[in-house]
């Protein structure tokens, strides 16, 4: 009886350690679909984009995935020393993860971009910002799509 209890205790501690491990491992905690990961790697190279500074706004519930208003803003002073070079938007659940890339200059004044995108399914959409100092930052938004953009035929 006592031994059984001990074993149970050991098991529980292993389990809790595992869950802590998942929490600490960024690759698992921010699990992305492989295609989206690949697209992000193509943008950021060997660097892993840091969390923060990028705000992505999507409606939480989308009725029609064909036209979804997407807003990205990046916190940046936008001076010639420190500005946002590029913003890339990556959708995890689209047949092609890349949605669009915008290239800014210090003359942009702000790093706010609004456009309309297609979403194939309920998914998480990422925005990756490349700063002039070479660092990468990321933000995401989750959305629920009731009508996919990719199903209709003509």
Partner 1 sequence: MSKTSRTSITMPAQAKKDSIIEIRAIAQHDMETGYRYTDAGKLIPRDIIRFFTCQYNGAEIFRAEFHPGTGANPLIIFTTIATESGTLQFEWRGDDGYEAFNQSQITIT
Residues making contact with partner 1 (CB under 8 A): 66-68, 89, 91, 94-105, 107-110, 112-119, 149-150, 152-154
| Beta carbon nearer to partner 1, 27 or 147 | 147
- Reading the block at residue 128, the tokens are 């990756």
| Beta carbon nearer to partner 1, 11 or 103 | 103
Identify whether the C-beta of residue 122 lies closer than 8 Å to the C-beta of residue 145. yes
CB of 42 to partner 1, least distance (A): 12
CB of 92 to partner 1, least distance (A): 11
Q: How far apart are CA 132 and CA 81, in angstroms?
A: 7
Q: How far apart are CA 20 and CA 15, in angstroms?
A: 9
Q: How far apart are CA 114 and CA 7, in angstroms?
A: 56
Q: How far apart are CA 91 and CA 120, in angstroms?
A: 9
CB of 36 to partner 1, least distance (A): 12
| Beta carbon nearer to partner 1, 1 or 154 | 154
| Beta carbon nearer to partner 1, 11 or 100 | 100
- Reading the block at residue 131, the tokens are 């700063």
Q: How far apart are CA 69 and CA 24, in angstroms?
A: 34
CB of 47 to partner 1, least distance (A): 20
């Amino acid at each position: 009886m006592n031994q059984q209890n001990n074993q149970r205790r050991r098991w529980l501690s292993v389990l809790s350690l595992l869950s802590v491990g998942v929490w600490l491992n960024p690759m698992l905690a921010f699990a992305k679909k492989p295609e989206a990961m690949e697209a992000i790697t193509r943008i950021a190279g060997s660097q892993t984009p840091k969390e923060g500074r990028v705000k992505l706004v999507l409606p939480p519930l989308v009725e029609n995935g064909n036209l979804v208003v997407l807003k990205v803003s990046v916190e940046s002073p936008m001076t010639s020393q420190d500005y946002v070079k590029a913003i890339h938007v990556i959708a995890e659940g689209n047949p092609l993860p890349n949605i669009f890339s915008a290239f800014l200059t210090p003359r942009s004044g702000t790093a706010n971009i609004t456009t309309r995108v297609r979403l194939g399914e309920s998914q998480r959409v990422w925005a990756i910002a490349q700063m002039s100092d070479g660092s990468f930052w990321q933000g995401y938004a989750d959305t629920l799509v009731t009508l996919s953009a990719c199903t209709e035929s003509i």
